[in-house]
Homo-oligomer: A and B are copies of this chain.
Amino acid sequence: MNDTHHAAPPSTLLDVARQAGVSPSTVSRILNGTARVSDDKRDAVLAAIAHMKFAPNQMAQGLKKGRSMTIGIVVQDISSPFFDESLRGVDDGLKGTGYASVIVSGHWNAQEEEDRIRLLLARKVDGIILLSGRISDQSVLDFSQQRPIVSTGRQIATHNAIGFKMDNEYGAYLAVRHLIELGHRRIAFVAGPSNNSDAAERLTGYEKALREADIALDPKLMAEGDFHEASGMLAMNHLFDTQQQFTAVFAANDLSAYGVRLCLYRKGIRVPDDISLVGFDDLPGSSYTTPPLTTIRQPLYDIGRIATEALLALINGEAVQAAIPPLELVVRETTRRVR
C-alpha cells in the first residue's frame, strides 16, 4: 500500500543552518530581515537555501508567530457567478500580501455557516470575510471576539468587525422607476426567497417605486422565486397561467431574469418588443444574454476587493475607511418604451 520512497524529504531551517555553517537564528534573521547579518554568512545561507530549495514551514511559522497568514472566506455557493465575482476581488486584494485564503461555503444554511466559521477559527485564520451570511449580527460580533471579521450585507462597525451594505431597496427602486419612465404600468415582479433580507428589501423598493407613481400594487403580479434560473421560469409560467396582464418584468436578480427570459422565448414573446425585462446584480454573463440584459449593477468585484483591504487593515490594527460604489442602473437592451 504505502509507498515510502517519496524522495526529497523537505529540508528544514536547521538543515540550512548546518549546511551554511551558521546558527538557526542567523538563518531566521535573513529570512525575516530581522537583523543585520554579515555578507559572507548571508551569501552562504542564501546559497544553502537555493541549493536545498528550502522554504520555511508555514505551520511552524504560524504557530510561533501566532499568525497563519491565511484568511477565511465564507460564501454561500461556491459555483455561483455572484460569489465568484467577489472572490476574484478577494484574490486580487490578497495579491502580494503573502496571505492565502481558505474558502468555505455555508450553503445558505445558518447552522452550517456557523460550523464553518468555527472551523476557520480552529485553523487560526487571521481574519474572516463573510459574503452574504445567514447568521445573526450577534453571532458575527461574538465570532469577531476571536478574529476580525468583515461582512457584506450588514451594518456593523466595531473595532473588530465591520460590515458593508448595499442599498437593495434603492436598487430595486431604480429598476422599477426606469420601467415606469418608459411608460410601463403593469410591472410584474419575480421576487427572491422571502427569508432573504436582500430579497425583502428589493421587494420594498419595487413597492416604493410603484407607490410613488400612483400605481396600485397588484399581488397577483408578484411571484416568489429562489434566485435561480429555474425559479424565474416557473414564476413567469405561473403569471401566464393565471392570465396576468403586464408589459414589463422586474426580476429580483439576474439569474432569475435568465429564467424569465427563457420562458418568454418559449412562449414566442419578444424582449423587449413585447415585454421589457430588468434584472439585478449585473453578473458577468448579463452583457452577453440575448439581448443583453438591462439590470442593476452591483459592484461585486469591488465588494470582494474592498472587503479584503478592510480586513487586512483590521488585522494590522489600522484604521479602515472603506467606501463601496453605489448600485446603478445599467440600461442595455431588454427594456423599451411601451407602445
Contacts and interface: CB of A to CB of B under 8 A. Distances in A.
Q: Which 3 pairs across A and B sit closest by C-beta, in order of nearness?
A: A2-B317, A79-B84, A79-B88
A57 interface: yes
5 contacts: A8-B145, A70-B123, A78-B87, A79-B85, A262-B290
A62 B59 CA distance: 7
Contacts of A103: 101-103
Interface of A: 1-3, 6-8, 10, 55-60, 62-63, 68, 70, 78-81, 84-85, 87-88, 91, 100-105, 118-119, 121-124, 145-146, 159-160, 229, 258-259, 261-262, 265, 284-285, 287-292, 317-319
A59 B55 contact: no
A317 B104 contact: no
Given A261-B290, A290-B261, A79 B81 contact: yes
Contacts of A101: 102-103
Contacts of A63: 57, 59-60, 63
A84 B87 CA distance: 11
Contacts of A8: 145-146
Contacts of A285: 229, 258, 285
Contact of A100 (B85, B119, B261, B284): B119
Contacts of A56: 122
Contact of A102 (B55, B80, B102, B122): B102
Contact of A265 (B124, B290, B318): B290
A259 B87 CA distance: 24
A68 B78 contact: no
Nearest to A72: B100
Given A55-B121, A100-B104, A262-B288, 6 more contacts: A2-B317, A59-B68, A59-B123, A79-B87, A84-B84, A265-B290
Given A1-B318, A10-B146, A262-B290, A124 B84 contact: no
* Of A68, A105, A123, A284, most B-chain CB atoms within 10 Å: A123
Contacts of A100: 102, 104, 119, 123
A58 to B, nearest CB: 5
Contact of A105 (B91, B159, B258, B318): B91
Which of A56, A100, A159, A259 has the largest number of chain B CB atoms within 10 A?
A: A100
Nearest to A304: B79
Given A3-B160, A102-B70, A290-B290, A122 B81 contact: no
Contact of A79 (B6, B55, B284): B284
